[in-house]
Structure 1
Amino acid sequence: MLSSKKPTKGARVIFAACLLCLGLLCSVPAALAQPQEDAAKSILQAMSDYMSKLKTIELTFDSSIEIITPQLEKIQFNSSGELLLSRPNRLWAHRVSGHADVTMFVDGKTVTVYGKRANGYAQFAFGGTLDQLIASLRAGRGVALPGADLLVADPYAALAAGVLEAKYLGTGIVDGVSCEHLAFRNFDTDWQLWVQAGDQPIPRKLVITSKTMNCAPQHTIHVKSFKGGVKPKAGAFTFVPPAGATQLEPEALIELDELPNQRPQGAKK
């Protein structure tokens, strides 16, 4: 029950002090907003410049994606993978999960996606750059590739497009490595990025949160190991069909999806 007694002078002083403290706390983010934003963008630019200079990249990663059922149950699917990139137009990537074991080969002329469990592969001709391939897979084939913006020729331009707000949140630790923690807001997503501190500002973790769906599902990419300037082995990007492999139609690229074909009824990512 609310009391009808008149507050004492001491109570009014305490209440006023509390309001003052709250006002000061609320004003701090506004005062620091510009330095935070400048720091976040500066670190993102440094990461972009470093990544752009690397002609070859080899990394391993873990990935998770969440879906929301009609009953508002959140379910997470996990996968692991490895990747070898050689600019401007060659790529080898392998991803394995509980429902798929898929490898992509890009040799500069042809894109091949091989599904080990089905022992089948799909191919299509492509002579453009990796940036153009990523755009083509997203626009023409419905493949999201959320972490691919970290690997394009200019990651800053790709990642900063549409950013409404940027924050530098200080340092964080990823796999025992000190990282700069950044947070960004777009119209329909919030995303966080952990960039390794020091003279090798590589991306260590990316978390993308959807703001357009109930329960705010997330997609997380966690870089486990990273090497720049590696020398790819001969034939690393060339696909040789295994014995008995069946060539499929290009529509089979749906296997690039991180979700199982039989997902919980009505679930959306």
Structure 2
Amino acid sequence: MKYLARFGAILLGIAAILCNPVDTRVLAKTGQAADAKQAPEIDPDAMDALNKMGTYLRSLKAFQVDSESSNDDVLDDGEIITDTRSSTLLAVSPNLLRAELKGDDRNTFLFYDGKNFTVYGKLLNYYATVPAPPTTAKLIDQIYNEYGIEIPLVDLFKWGNDEAAIKKITSAIDVGPSSVGGITCEHYAFRQEGLDWQIWIQLGDFPLPKKFVIRTLTDDARPQHTSTLTWNLTPSYNDATFTFDPPQGAERIPLKDLNADTTKNAQ
């Protein structure tokens, strides 16, 4: 289920409010507006934090980010099944990328060397390679639009670039300081049509997103996606890191087959 909708897609319920004490930091920022029956509050500090984070992310020349995530899938009868996945993304500006996605049903690798893009499904030992555009930014749009493939954590490349997405935010709250993995962060909560989302941004000179939670409001089950991120801003790599070398016995298939129900899928 794709909760990061092309922003890239973004980012506690009534039960949580009833069962847990309400944080006075949130009350301080929302109570007055609620009493006055005003429109949802847009805290300029929260919006500024998003902009600063986006600017910083776009300034990075190289990074590796590891993600541990949980995803709610809603069955036809409304029951929620939560699965967990992990991913590792290594990116070097402007045109090198490697990613690995692991889950109970897949172990998939993505390679981009500035000339070719390859998706490799380790479990089935299938791969597909297509010519690629000269930059990561162009690659992201092309492979999604033409093949339905989304780079993991794609929003890290787009944050702050899409003014239309920013304008969709109807509520922005600075919840306050919070710790994620022992790192002091500032916790922000946002709302837009169909989505509630929260983000924890590291305080200090490195405004990195450390955690985000996205809840879908258009589904009665209110499914949720949660990811926790670990960053390395000085990753090790060489040219071979981003070039796919088919393992023994690997079978090449057309990339279009990856999205066809009746053909082989790289997993």
Give me the TM-score of the superposition, normalised by structure 2: 0.77
1:217 & 1:249 partners in 2: Cα distance? 34
The correspondence for 2:174, drawn from 157, 165, 168, is 168
Quick one: which amino acid aligns to residue 232 of structure 2? K
Paired residues in the alignment total 231
Select which of 246, 249, 252 maps to 1:244: 249
When residues 162 and 207 of structure 1 are mapped into structure 2, their CA distance, relative to the original with a 3 A threshold, is same
Residues 172 and 178, structure 1, Cα contact 8 Å, conserved in 2: yes
CA distance in 2, matches of 1:100, 1:182: 32
TM-superposition CA deviations, 1:46-68 (whole Å, max 9, x none): 21121111110112111221111
Local SS of the residue matching 1:46: helix
Determine the C-alpha separation between the residues in 1 that align with 2:255 and 2:105: 20
| 1:80–1:96 Cα contact (<8 Å) kept | yes
Give 1:202 shift: 0.5
Shift of 1:163: 1.9
CA–CA separation in structure 2 for the residues paired with 1:238 and 1:69: 39
The reply to whether residue 125 of structure 1 matches residue 125 of structure 2 is no
Paired amino acid for 1:203 = P
Q: After superposition, where does 1:91-106 map in structure 2 within 5 Å? A: 91-106=97-112
Q: Deviations over 1:8-64 (max 9, x none)?
A: xxxxxxxxxxxxxxxxx8425578999862111111112112111111011211122
Whether contact under 8 Å (1:55, 1:229) holds in the other structure is no
**Structure 2: gaps (5+ residues):** 1-29
Give the whole-Å Cα distance in 1 for the aligned partners of 2:90 and 2:247. Answer: 20
Cα 1:28–1:198 change in 2 (3 A) is: same
Moved more, 227-236 or 58-67: 227-236
Structure 1 residues 219 and 134, CA gap change in structure 2 (3 angstroms): farther
Amino acid at match of 1:234: D
Equivalent residues in 2 for 1:57-206 (5 A)?
57-145=63-151, 147-152=153-158, 155-158=159-162, 160=166, 162-206=168-212
TM-score by length of 1: 0.77
Q: In 2, distance between residues paired with 1:161 and 1:147?
A: 21
> Which residue of structure 2 lines up, in the alignment, with residue 4 of structure 1?
none
CA distance in 2, matches of 1:88, 1:30: 49
CA distance in 1, matches of 2:32, 2:242: 54
User: Given that residues 54 and 229 in structure 1 are in contact (C-alpha distance below 8 angstroms), is that contact kept between their aligned partners in structure 2?
Assistant: no
Identity of aligned residues (%): 32
Q: Structure 1 residues 116, 194: closer, same or farther in 2, change over 3 A?
A: same
Counterpart secondary structure, 2:47: helix
CA distance in 2 between counterparts of 1:30 and 1:137 reads: 48
Change (3 A) 1:214 1:144: farther
Deviates more, 1:118-127 or 1:29-38: 29-38
What do residues 149-190 of structure 1 show as CA deviations (whole Å, max 9, x unaligned)?
Answer: 1233xx123462522222111112111211111112121222
Deviations 1:213-263 (A, max 9, x none): 12111222210x2122435223110000000000012035459xxxx99xx
Change (3 A) 1:253 1:118: same
Aligned partner (choices 53, 62, 67) of residue 56 of structure 1:
62
Distance 1:52 1:102, change over 3 A: same
**Stretches of structure 1 lacking an aligned partner (at least 5 in a row):** 1-24, 262-269
1:192 alignment partner, SS class: strand
Equivalent residue, structure 2, for 1:235: 240
